[in-house]
Amino acid sequence: GQQVMQIPQYQHVQEGEDFTTYCNSSTTLSNIQWYKQRPGGHPVFLIQLVKSGEVKKQKRLTFQFGEAKKNSSLHITATQTTDVGTYFCAGPLSGGYNTLIFGAGTRLAVHP
Where along the sequence are the contacts to another protein (CB under 8 A)?
30-31, 33, 41-45, 48, 50, 88, 90, 92-93, 96-105
Shortest Å, Cβ 100 to another protein: 6
Which of 33, 26, 22, 29 is closest to 1 using CA atoms?
Answer: 26
Which of 42, 25, 4, 31 is closest to 98 using CA atoms?
Answer: 31
Close Cβ partners of 28 (under 8 Å, ≥ 6 residues apart)? 68, 69, 70
Shortest Å, Cβ 15 to another protein: 25
Shortest Å, Cβ 41 to another protein: 8
Whichever of 17 and 54 has its CB closer to another protein, that residue is: 54
Whichever of 11 and 102 has its CB closer to another protein, that residue is: 102
Whichever of 37 and 77 has its CB closer to another protein, that residue is: 37
Whichever of 43 and 85 has its CB closer to another protein, that residue is: 43
Where does residue 44 rank: exposed (0-12), middle (13-18), buried (19+ CB within 10 A)? exposed
